Structure 1
Amino acid sequence: MRLLVELVGLAVLVQLLVSSPVPVASQPGSWKVLQKNAGIASMHSAVTRFDTCVLLDRTNIGPSGIKLPGGRCRNQPKERVSKTDCYAHSVMLNPANGAVRALYIYTDTWCSSGQFMGNGVLVQTGGDFEGNKKIRTLSPCGAGGNCDWVETDRELSKGRWYASNHILPGGVRQIVVGGRNEPTYEFVPKRKAGETVFSLALLRGTCCDNLYPFVFLMPNGDLFVFANQDSVILNIGSGKVVRQLPKCPGNPRNYPSGGSAAMLPLKAPFQSVEILVCGGAATGAAKSGDKAKPASTNCGRINPTAGNARWVMENMPMRRVMGDMVSMPTGEILIINGAANGYQGWGTASNPVLQPVKYDGDANAGKRFQTQKATNIPRMYHSTANMLADGSVLVAGSNTHQFYTYTGPFPTELRVEAFSPDYLSARNNAVRPRITQYPRVMKYQQAYDVTFVVNTRRGVVAVNLLSAPFATHNFLQGQRAIKLTVAVPRQASGGAWAVRTTAPPSANVCPQQYYMMFCLQAGVPGRAVWIKME
């Protein structure tokens, strides 16, 4: 009995060591609550070119924390919870002051997917039950606008629940990949009349860690698609899998195992790409229902364009399932949110991981991870993270229950926070560049001047683009970062500086879309401006 007690005590100690905060001195960054009650828990989120943020939840969840304005109600005869529902399940948030405005959504968006089109319209696809084949759009607006969701008269060919979207070169079409019991993909809108769906063997199976597949557009126009532990390169034009890549070592990564993935920044000569896949539930945890099983610590990194493509493994500082991976203006990746035990689902994870981790892909192995300052708000199942134009990361959501539940362990979370990385600290203000002139529209391979002012001119100047992805279930769909080529800055009139930068070479590298353009000096970004790639 004494031995058993000692073993239990040791297990508890080990668990505490895994998830406990590291000393404060090594925790850069800061946190701020932007809104104490956004009205909804954010299952999906996307930042618009007007610097507003669309938050979206399920509709079949019953009352939320915010009502629709003017006595408006949703009358949905197919709704399985509230056929007459006067509560909002989507809001528009203004991060500048935390103000929220209720949005109207008609069909169920539970575990759906989405992406911005090249014209800035947010397209949202699929969901549960009556929303399973639906296509919805939102033409975004600023904080003072009245834009809202629109249910289109188009539908998906197949119902999509837990699918992933990615914009395609041209900016007028998306590919929608996978979904529960749906090992296929299709295009929105269709490429030609009568087109339906296309099979993808990688996604076969009914449950097993292949939902919300990780999808990335590569510089040659092919797609990298990852599910469970396997990945392929898919040629969109021919519909053929042109390469089967090695199995990623370790644990399964996709829903319900709750790993995440990001593409490292694309940079000249824009011919190769690297994918980073991190964390997730332990092998067999979701299948067996083991809520206490420790999550994974490992990450795999691969260059799928290399002739000898292989996974290179390394460990994060802590275990993490349901972490979100956010591209930063510096080219680093922030891993944020999640838990140290269990897997994705209602009440199936515990031991929240409160500390973000920053990953520097250019650093030497063993020195790539840096632990950041902890929050005091657990962000578990159904939480999101998005980069904002000011360089901070908007963090929202967390609902580990079937309905909105404000008592007990891990209650429904309506607070919205912003995490400010250390580059936003006041000590960097002197070298922080402020863009004063820039191209509102960029065309491929063309050169442009970006003019900025600083208090102190010092260090390397960089100009980087970040897309505005659709965040859901720990995967930021359509996320990409592009490091533009730049010349040596020169002095301009009025004490400003100008740097000549060259637009990306093609739509395969940088699809036609709106992007945040960040100017950095000595690794310190200023506030981004929005540009359109055409």
Structure 2
Amino acid sequence: MENFPLFLICFFTLLTLPKPTRATLPGTWELLASNAGIASMHTAVTRFNTVILLDRTHTGPSRKLLPKNHCRFDKNDAVLKRDCYAHSILFDPKTNQLRPLKILTDTWCSSGQFLPNGTLLQTGGDLDGLKKIRKFNPCDLNGSCDWEELNDVELSEGRWYATNQILPDGSIIIIGGRGSNTVEFYPKRENGIVSFPFLSETEDTQMDNLYPYVHLLPNGKLFVFANTKSVMYDFVENRVVKVYPELDGGPRNYPSAGSSVMLALGGEFSEAVVVVCGGAQYGAFLERNVDTPAHGSCGRIMATGENPVWEMEDMPFQRIMGDMVILPNGDVLIINGAMKGTQGFELGSDPCLNPVLYRPDEPAGLRFMVLNPGTVARMYHSTANLLPDGRVLLAGSNPHVFYRFDVEFPTELRLEAFSPEYLDSDKMNIRPEIVDIPETVSYGAGFDVVVSVALPVVGIIEVNLGSAPFATHSFSQGQRLVKLGVGSAVPDGGDGRWRIRCTAPPSGMVAPPGYYMVFAVNQGVPSVARWIHVS
């Protein structure tokens, strides 16, 4: 053997090593509900720890009936003039109980965002929902909250595939949509709609500028990404103040959708990094080619830098229709989607069952970690949302015009939760519990958070604010994580209690007013969140 080539010895040694199995990869899965009644196209978590599930109204029968005498009547509905089926659900992930909700107008490919008072503002859609504004004032599952359709006000322009973002003053900007190269605001402003030429400049035959990726930067401007291009947009003066380099690798927005996230804000809150990952090959949508491989490239850019450039990386898997979820510790979970095709009815194939963890603080080349694969295909019209207990809720997937269960990728009514490795049982002794926290804080104010930890604290316990975004079509509108300035944890009366002095975000540019999940994070392991109102 001494003359045998070394590389062959290494090769045959690798062949004999045991291959990784599902059990050896991080993360666990659990089924929460075998039949949610609907396939959730839009999902949002409320401050009552309930979850709003929402589909379109023109899907025909769902698998959940409305209460007696609550049917919807629509003479223009091509499928059901008298519709007694629910198309929205309120779900409690703690008890796994469901309650049907009544939505009147079509919410197909609509948009949403929470207002500062915790009410979900829901805008646009298709057909009779094109200009509609709806509100949902949330409650727990025992309450009577339901959808309210506003009849005294509507959008100035039809919004189908638009994006919403809450602004520093608590108002909402609504950007784009099919055939809408404009923006408008809620509450409505005197100027009504405002032309935004960037959207027309990024429009093509494939419509790759729909559901633009929008992030509120800590300087008060908006980072807006559509197709392959991005700008810094001053919505107050209605002007583009910076044009970023074009991102290589093909289009990224609907229908070629990858996903995007702004990494956690922290420190002096002067820097913001945006990541855009995945997408379909150009032409897959036009050619209706379900077998065209997606691409797996990611671009990362310091959006607040003087001369920013895209840093390119490759994910372990090609992915289209993936969701990017900011976890409480600042890592990003990439989950759902397919490895071939494009967005659209019956246009995706080869589901990507492995989640991937993106660890932004690691050096390039070491940031991605492959996680334990699921078994349920989550493709077109699926969602992923962070829950207050640190799990990630997976809902939806309906690649068909109507609900179908006799095909390779059926309409998906199951709800699942993915638990990242930080929820493993061997980490429970360092998992903090929030014992005391104020219900409200003002910008820049100091406040205390009291936590309990089984083992002695090592180092700094972080206190991080997570927003509750509106997840749809591979992008979570309004998603952000803010790492607060904290002091060292000091003992507070024994019994493993520690008091942490925190400083609230300095302004609405860093954390727009509203309700946030507060996570105490010890050595990367988050507590169950408590809700706080920031204003």
TM-score range relative to shorter protein = over 0.9
- 1:408 is displaced (CA, Å) by 1.1
Find the residue that maps to 2:279 and give its secondary structure.
coil
Using the alignment, how far apart are the partners of 1:323 and 1:451 within structure 2? 37
- 1:304 is displaced (CA, Å) by 1.7
- Of 200-209 and 370-379, more deviation after overlay is shown by 200-209
- What one-letter code is carried by the residue in structure 2 that aligns with 1:198? S
Q: Is the 8 A contact 1:321 1:343 kept in 2?
A: yes
Match of 1:11 in 2: none
* Residues 458/270 of structure 1: CA separation in 2 closer, same or farther (3 Å cut): same
Match of 1:161 in 2: 160
Using the alignment, how far apart are the partners of 2:281 and 2:21 within structure 1? 27
Of 77, 93, 102, which aligns to 1:104? 102
Find the residue that maps to 1:322 and give its secondary structure.
coil
Match of 1:201 in 2: 198
Using the alignment, how far apart are the partners of 1:54 and 1:94 within structure 2? 9
Q: Is the 8 A contact 1:202 1:230 kept in 2?
A: no
For structure 2, the 5+ residue unaligned runs are 1-18
Q: Is the 8 A contact 2:176 2:199 kept in 1?
A: no
Written as runs of structure 1 = structure 2, the 5 A alignment for 1:156-195 is: 156-171=155-170, 173-192=171-190, 195=192
* Residues 203/328 of structure 1: CA separation in 2 closer, same or farther (3 Å cut): farther
- 1:25 is displaced (CA, Å) by 5.5
TM-score (norm 2): 0.94
- What one-letter code is carried by the residue in structure 1 that aligns with 2:194? V
Match of 2:90 in 1: 92
Find the residue that maps to 1:130 and give its secondary structure.
helix
Using the alignment, how far apart are the partners of 2:430 and 2:189 within structure 1? 48
- 1:106 is displaced (CA, Å) by 0.3
- 1:494 is displaced (CA, Å) by 4.0
Asked if 1:81 corresponds to 2:82, the answer is no
Using the alignment, how far apart are the partners of 1:249 and 1:263 within structure 2? 19
Q: Deviations over 1:45-94 (max 9, x none)?
A: 00000000000001011000001012421012232321210101000001
Written as runs of structure 1 = structure 2, the 5 A alignment for 1:429-508 is: 429-460=428-459, 461-495=461-495, 496-508=497-509
Q: Is the 8 A contact 2:434 2:450 kept in 1?
A: yes
Asked if 1:516 corresponds to 2:517, the answer is yes
Using the alignment, how far apart are the partners of 2:519 and 2:386 within structure 1? 12
Match of 1:248 in 2: 247
Using the alignment, how far apart are the partners of 1:224 and 1:349 within structure 2? 29
- 1:201 is displaced (CA, Å) by 2.5
Using the alignment, how far apart are the partners of 1:343 and 1:413 within structure 2? 18
Using the alignment, how far apart are the partners of 1:243 and 1:135 within structure 2? 32
Find the residue that maps to 1:288 and give its secondary structure.
coil
Q: Deviations over 1:138-195 (max 9, x none)?
A: 0000121110000002100000000000011122x10000101111111111133x52
Q: Is the 8 A contact 1:185 1:200 kept in 2?
A: no
Q: Is the 8 A contact 1:28 1:372 kept in 2?
A: yes
Find the residue that maps to 2:286 and give its secondary structure.
helix
Q: 4+ runs of 1 displaced by more than 2 Å? A: 21-26, 77-81, 194-208
Match of 1:417 in 2: 416
Using the alignment, how far apart are the partners of 1:118 and 1:271 within structure 2? 23
For structure 1, the 5+ residue unaligned runs are 1-20
Q: Is the 8 A contact 1:202 1:231 kept in 2?
A: no
How many residues align? The count is 512
- What one-letter code is carried by the residue in structure 1 that aligns with 2:58? N
Using the alignment, how far apart are the partners of 2:271 and 2:305 within structure 1? 8
Using the alignment, how far apart are the partners of 1:26 and 1:229 within structure 2? 37
Q: Is the 8 A contact 2:489 2:500 kept in 1?
A: yes
Using the alignment, how far apart are the partners of 1:90 and 1:144 within structure 2? 16
- 1:199 is displaced (CA, Å) by 2.7
Using the alignment, how far apart are the partners of 2:184 and 2:195 within structure 1? 6
Using the alignment, how far apart are the partners of 1:80 and 1:501 within structure 2? 55
Find the residue that maps to 1:314 and give its secondary structure.
strand
- 1:203 is displaced (CA, Å) by 3.9
Using the alignment, how far apart are the partners of 1:197 and 1:141 within structure 2? 35
- 1:291 is displaced (CA, Å) by 1.4
Using the alignment, how far apart are the partners of 1:444 and 1:22 within structure 2? 48
Find the residue that maps to 2:271 and give its secondary structure.
coil
Written as runs of structure 1 = structure 2, the 5 A alignment for 1:297-316 is: 297-316=296-315
Match of 1:8 in 2: none
Using the alignment, how far apart are the partners of 1:320 and 1:201 within structure 2? 27
Using the alignment, how far apart are the partners of 1:148 and 1:202 within structure 2? 34
- 1:458 is displaced (CA, Å) by 3.1
- What one-letter code is carried by the residue in structure 2 that aligns with 1:175? I
- 1:258 is displaced (CA, Å) by 1.5
Using the alignment, how far apart are the partners of 1:85 and 1:22 within structure 2? 49
Using the alignment, how far apart are the partners of 2:308 and 2:193 within structure 1? 33
- 1:471 is displaced (CA, Å) by 0.3
Q: Is the 8 A contact 1:184 1:203 kept in 2?
A: no
- 1:22 is displaced (CA, Å) by 5.8
TM-score (norm 1): 0.94
Q: Is the 8 A contact 2:182 2:193 kept in 1?
A: no
Match of 1:228 in 2: 227
How well do the aligned residues superpose, as a CA RMSD in angstroms?
1.2
